[in-house]
């Protein structure tokens, strides 16, 4: 069962191409704040653009050396035609690099369609009004590309489907610490949500939750991993396990965070979507630090984790600054944590070995 999540993630390009052959349009989302419900309501499939572990991509990217590996990797994938199935890309700002990658993609005509989500940084009435209008504008443009206009009813159905996905992911994270599931497998449960049609992922999740076997508790110390880059995270999980630790829960941009808050289901669905995205998806500066730190602490408590690894991709200034802010609270709470900062390459990650080992040993 669990292998099917991994397969869906690892074969995401092939599966997307198969969908495209059937006439479905695919829209790339870069990244967590892009309103996928809108794409879905326009009859298209939103897929998250995520990094591949392949050094050739970074070499092909042609980007500045001091940009994060994720952007370089994606630029390399585009140069290598890996994303040839993407009919359009929707960029929602999390950091300067992700926002300005759009400038390059527009210049290169990398995708047939490009949209910048003009999302306010606030969530007051003025911001919600502005964003509601922006979502209506985007819906019009998406509908023009797909040929399926976004209707209120259609958008309500899409919101309900993605809310179901969020609820299923929440249930999964509640069950995960005591389930017989490896940390690496758990990563693919949410990672596949980023790249699969939501109906398909919901069905898989229901099946998984109905059959999740209870497992023996993992070895101590138990850890939580906060990360962004999926291949890097898998490397660090393996490294921690090598030294006897178990990663019992994690916090990526898109699992605990994306799944944490449902989009309101009442009233005007565009307005509901605006309320559901503004300052509710944890991203640096766009979310309360108090809440963010508390969520990490609470998730650790629920999962029985004694230490936190906060993994930053090199040159990701947004999360590097967020860490410095969260650190003050972690220190105050005496929450053991380890900040790791590395390039998303095997050789760079290998250098983290000693630090992970000593952190694990400090918790034993």
Partner 1 sequence: MAEPDLKSIQKKVSAGASYRKIVAAAEAGAPICVASAGIPNEVMHAMGVCPIYPESLAAISAGIGKAGEFFDESRAHGLSNIICSYTRCGLGICWASKTAFGSIPRPNIAITDVNICCLHLTWWAYLEDHFTLPTFYMDMPATTDPGAPEYIDYYETQIREMVAFVERTTSCRLDMDRLHQSVRSSDLAGYYWKQMMALRRHRPSPMSFRALAGQILPLVTALGDQDAADFYEALYHQYLADAKEGKTPAQGGETYRLIWDGIPIWHHLQVINAFEEKGANFVWEPYTSLNWGNKTSTGRLDLDRPFHTLAEKYTNVWNNKPIAKRFEYFDQAIREYEVDGLVMFSNRSCRPMSIGQHELVQLITERHDLPVLIFEGDQADPEGFSWADARTRVDGFIEVLEGRKQRGRQR
Q: Which residues bind partner 1 (CB under 8 A)?
A: 62-67, 93-97, 99-104, 106-108, 116-122, 126-127, 130, 133-134, 284-286, 289-290, 312, 314-318, 320-325, 327-328, 339, 341
Min dist CB 59 to partner 1, Å, is 15
Q: Return the C-alpha torsion angle 243, 223, 48, 206, nearest 10.
A: 110
Which is it for the CA torsion 311, 316, 321, 325, positive or negative? Answer: negative
Minimal distance, residue 13 CB to partner 1, in Å: 26
The CA distance from 89 to 105, in Å, is 9
Q: Nearer to partner 1 by C-beta: 29 or 94?
A: 94
Give the Cα separation of 364 and 362 in Å (integer).
6
Q: How far is the CB of 268 from partner 1 (least distance, A)?
A: 18
Q: Report residue 15: phi and psi, to 5°.
A: -70, -40
Q: Which is nearer to partner 1, 94 or 159 (CB)?
A: 94
User: Closest distance between partner 1 and the C-beta of residue 90, in Å?
Assistant: 12
Q: Are 281 and 94 contacting, i.e. CB atoms less than 8 angstroms apart? A: no
Q: Which is nearer to partner 1, 101 or 179 (CB)?
A: 101
Number of alpha carbons in the 13 Å side-chain half-sphere of residue 46: 24
- Closest CB to partner 1 among 262 and 314? 314
Phi then psi dihedrals of residue 265, to 5 deg: -105, 0
Minimum CB distance to partner 1, residue 2 (Å): 35
Using the minimum distance from each CB to partner 1, give the nearer residue, 224 or 286. Answer: 286
* Residue closest to 108 by CA, chosen among 61, 46, 54, 143: 61
Cβ contact 138:117 at 8 Å: yes
- Residue among 130 and 243 whose Cβ is closer to partner 1: 130
**Least distance in Å: CB of 204 to partner 1?**
34
């Amino acid at each position: 069962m669990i292998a099917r999540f991994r397969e869906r993630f690892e074969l995401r390009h092939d599966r997307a191409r198969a969908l495209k052959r059937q006439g479905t349009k695919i829209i790339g989302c870069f990244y967590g704040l892009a309103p996928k419900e809108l794409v879905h309501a326009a009859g298209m499939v939103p897929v998250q653009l995520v990094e591949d572990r392949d050094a050739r991509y970074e070499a092909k990217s042609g980007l500045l050396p001091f940009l994060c590996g994720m952007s370089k990797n994606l630029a390399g994938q585009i140069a290598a035609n890996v994303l040839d199935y993407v009919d359009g890309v929707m960029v929602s700002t999390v950091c300067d690099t992700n926002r300005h990658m759009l400038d390059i993609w527009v210049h290169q005509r990398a995708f047939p369609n490009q949209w910048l989500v003009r999302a306010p940084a606030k969530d007051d009435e003025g911001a919600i009004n502005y964003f509601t209008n922006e979502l209506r504008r985007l819906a019009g443009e998406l509908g023009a590309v797909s040929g399926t206009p976004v209707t209120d009813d259609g958008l309500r159905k899409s919101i309900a489907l993605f809310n179901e996905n969020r609820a299923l992911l929440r249930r999964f994270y509640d069950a995960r610490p005591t389930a017989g599931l490896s940390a690496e497998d758990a990563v693919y449960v949410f990672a596949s949500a980023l790249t699969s049609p939501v109906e398909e992922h919901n069905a898989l999740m229901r099946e998984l939750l109905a059959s999740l076997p209870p497992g023996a508790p993992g070895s101590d110390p138990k850890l939580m991993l906060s990360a962004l880059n999926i291949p890097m995270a898998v490397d660090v999980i393996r490294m921690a396990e090598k030294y006897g630790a178990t990663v019992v829960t994690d916090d990526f941009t898109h699992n605990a965070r994306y799944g944490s808050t449902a989009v309101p289901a009442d009233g005007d669905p565009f307005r509901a979507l605006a309320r559901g995205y503004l300052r509710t998806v944890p991203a640096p500066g766009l979310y309360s630090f108090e809440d963010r730190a508390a969520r990490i602490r609470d998730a650790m408590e629920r999962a029985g984790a004694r230490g936190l690894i906060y993994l930053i991709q090199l040159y990701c200034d947004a999360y590097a600054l967020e860490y410095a802010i969260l650190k003050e609270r972690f220190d105050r709470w005496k929450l053991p944590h380890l900040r790791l900062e590395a390039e998303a390459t095997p050789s760079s990650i290998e250098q983290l070995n000693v630090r992970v080992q000593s952190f694990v040993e400090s918790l034993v």
